[in-house]
Amino acid sequence: MTRQGGFTLIELLVVIVLLGLLTSIAVGVAGGGSQQRELQNEVARLHAVLNMAMDEAILSNNEIGAIVDSEGYEFVVYNEELGAWQAAAQDFLSTYPFPNWLVSDFRREGDTNRDLPTQDQSAATNDADDNAKIPDLMLFSSGEITQFRIGLEIDGDPDSRLEILVDENDAIVLPHLQQDEDA
């Protein structure tokens, strides 16, 4: 039996996201780019990476978590043998810092909005058990996801706020784009 060569779904998704990022960078450079456009790019990037992480959780049959703080986000994978969360090995799930002009907040279902801690504050919380990492949201291999809402805005401009959230169908959505489509 010969094995046919080809690309996996994850490899194709990574290429598509990278092409999208390169295109958005090229458009931003060519168009002069504004901070609002950069905010939209950051929101689109986080949305795409969360969706890719969800696909990865399902395809690899691993539980994936995300740690979100005011300075950025990182992904962790649950290691059943160790019974602990570990940094994700996939490049597209690597730690990503937010730009310093971006302000963020995070809310899980049933929680009130909270300003996100800095990495130092997160590290102090997560270092309680010798570098144990506790995710803020989880993407399960069953396709389920922690209900959450992440708000991102330009520092000092609350009118620029954009959100990423999980809808009633467990889909990660951008409500501002859905409103544009409905109009």
* pLDDT tens by residue, 135-144: 999 999 999 9
Domain boundaries, the chain: 9-182
DSSP code per residue over 94-139: S-EEPPTTEEEEEEETTPPPEEPPPHHHHHHHHGGGSS----SEEE
Q: Which segments of the chain have a pLDDT < 70?
A: 1-3, 27-33, 112-131, 179-183
Question: Which phi and psi (to 5°) does residue 150 adopt?
Answer: -115, 125
| Confidence at residue 121, expressed as pLDDT on a 0 to 100 scale | 47
| Predicted model pTM | 0.71
| Confidence at residue 53, expressed as pLDDT on a 0 to 100 scale | 94
| Confidence at residue 32, expressed as pLDDT on a 0 to 100 scale | 46
Max distance between CA atoms of the chain, in angstroms, equals: 62
Q: Give the residue ranges of DSSP H helices in the chain.
A: 9-30, 35-60, 119-126, 175-182
| Confidence at residue 170, expressed as pLDDT on a 0 to 100 scale | 87
CATH 3.60.21.10 fits 9-182, yes or no: no
Show the tokens assigned to 65: 């978590």
